[in-house]
Structure 1
Amino acid sequence: MIGLIRGQLIEKQPPEILIDAGGVGYEVQLPMTSFYQLPEVGQQATVYIHFVVREDAQLLFGFADKSERALFRELIKVNGVGPKLALTILSGMSAAQFIQCVSHDDYTGLVKLPGVGKKTAERLVIEMRDRLKKLAEQGDSSTHLPAMSVQTDGSTLVANNDVKEDALSALVALGYKPAQAAKVVNAVYQEGASSETLIREALRSMA
């Protein structure tokens, strides 16, 4: 079981990174909340890993800390929620916001996320309420789960089209429809913004 990878960040293409650890390049998918906290390409990064083995693939999902990984692991236990949808949920809202939705039976906030219909939202609220209590009993209370306040990234700026295309690709990979993603990206775009900043603002707008 792979629990953690520490190495040089080779590529960042939201929501995926390529990280070199001991001469081996690992492709890791991260929720955007964790992605925002990554250092620049070429620097050392550490990500906590959840390893998924399927018949057709072996997938690595990365997180900035153990608390967010713990929440991810509880999410994928919910009926109808797989790793990709869990990644989308944790990209569309912070862990603290998700906990708030569950605590206040806020189905509306959850169904705004792609792939989360009314029935899935109801299951999330019902099942995750108990799971979050267990996490709290184990020491992972809502105060310890990452609020994931987003800081402006220091990524090198690229051409406008590249920035928009990167943001659009990331949103589509997270489950948003291309037309919806393109509309929001164009609406929130500002001159000089990096792709990560644009993704963050687009997700915030759709939430």
Structure 2
Amino acid sequence: MIGKLKGLVDQFGDDWVLIDCGGVCYEVFCSGRTLQALPRVGEAAVIFIETIVREDLIRLYGFASEAEKGWFNLLTSVQGVGARVALAILSVMGPAELSSAVALQDKAMIGRANGVGPKLALRVVTELKGKVPAIGAVDAGTLGLQTALGEGVARSNVADAVSALTNLGYSSAQASAALARVVAKEGEDTPTEKLIRLGLRELSQ
């Protein structure tokens, strides 16, 4: 089983890359984000691998991080989500954004991916609720706040502050991560206005 490839980038395709490992070139299918993160042709690269073996083919899927690989495996555990759809989802959002979308039950965010309709997006956020890869993409405080928001049990001042920051153009992942840090320092009873102000300070650092 191949867990990781270290070699030179040989060639790029629309959704794959060839990695030259000592003269043997491996074709690796990747998300758009991973392809963009890889170095140029001829340069050294490291890519995490998930191998899928079927009766008629063996395919390697590559990821820029273990967190992305972990989410790929979680996504493909959902009925109706194959490798191609999982890569499409990972092409439009990183592990932290995906963690946030699942915790907040934000099916619209999942639905931005090609090939993901409303019903499938709902199934993804429903089946993966409360799950995170073994390699966590967000810290416990952030995930706890995101889960509380998604279940409607977060304090109103915190929920209002997250809403205000997202209205200013920040993603829900960025907003909840910043406010989780603020709440850890200032406490959950901090007024909404102060949470917004301190959240903006965190986001500007």
User: Normalising TM by the smaller chain, what interval?
Assistant: 0.5 to 0.7
Paired position in structure 1 for 2:103: 103
Deviation at 1:39, TM superposition (A): 0.9
The AA in structure 2 aligned to 1:50 is E
Partners in 1 of 2:137 and 2:91 — Cα distance?
Answer: 20
Distance 1:81 1:118 in 2: 13
Instruction: Provide Cα deviations, 1:34-54, integer angstroms capped at 9, x if missing partner.
Output: 112111100111101000111
Aligned residue number for residue 138 of structure 2: 142
1:10 CA displacement: 0.5
Q: Could you tell me which amino acid in structure 1 is paired with residue 120 of structure 2? A: T
Cα offset for 1:112? Answer: 2.6
In 2, distance between residues paired with 1:60 and 1:105?
30
Cα 1:113–1:141, aligned 2, differ >3 Å: closer, same or farther? closer
User: In the alignment, which residue of structure 2 is the partner of 1:45?
Assistant: 45
1:141 offset after TM fit, Å?
4.5
Instruction: Tell me the matched-pair count.
Output: 140
Q: CA deviation at 1:96?
A: 1.8
**Residues in 2 aligned to 1:38 and 1:139: alpha-carbon distance in whole angstroms:** 21
Counterpart CA distance in 1 for 2:39 and 2:83 is: 24
* Equivalent residue, structure 2, for 1:168: none
TM alignment of 1:1-207, pairs within 5 A: 1-132=1-132, 135=133, 138=134, 140-143=136-139
Unaligned runs of 5+ in 1: 145-207
Shift of 1:8: 1.1
Instruction: Give unmatched runs, 5+ long, in structure 2.
Output: 141-205
Q: What do you get for the CA RMSD once the two structures are aligned?
A: 1.7
| Cα distance in 1 for residues equivalent to 2:8 and 2:108 | 40
Q: Percent identity?
A: 36
Give the SS at the match of 1:62: strand
**Change in CA separation of 1:139 and 1:41 when aligned onto 2, cut-off 3 Å:** closer
The one-letter code of the counterpart of 2:81 is: V
d(CA) in 2 for partners of 1:108, 1:58 = 33
CA displacement at 1:90 relative to structure 2: 0.1
Question: Which position in structure 2 is the counterpart of 1:180?
Answer: none
Contact 1:14–1:35 (8 Å) recurs in 2: no
Amino acid at match of 1:106: D
Residue 4 (structure 1) shift: 0.7
Q: Does the aligned pair in 1 maintain the 2:68–2:94 contact within 8 Å?
A: no
Cα distance in 1, alignment partners of residues 135 and 12 from structure 2: 32
Write the distance in 2 (CA, Å) between the matches of 1:109 and 1:99. 11
Higher relative contact order (CA 8 A, sep 6+): 1
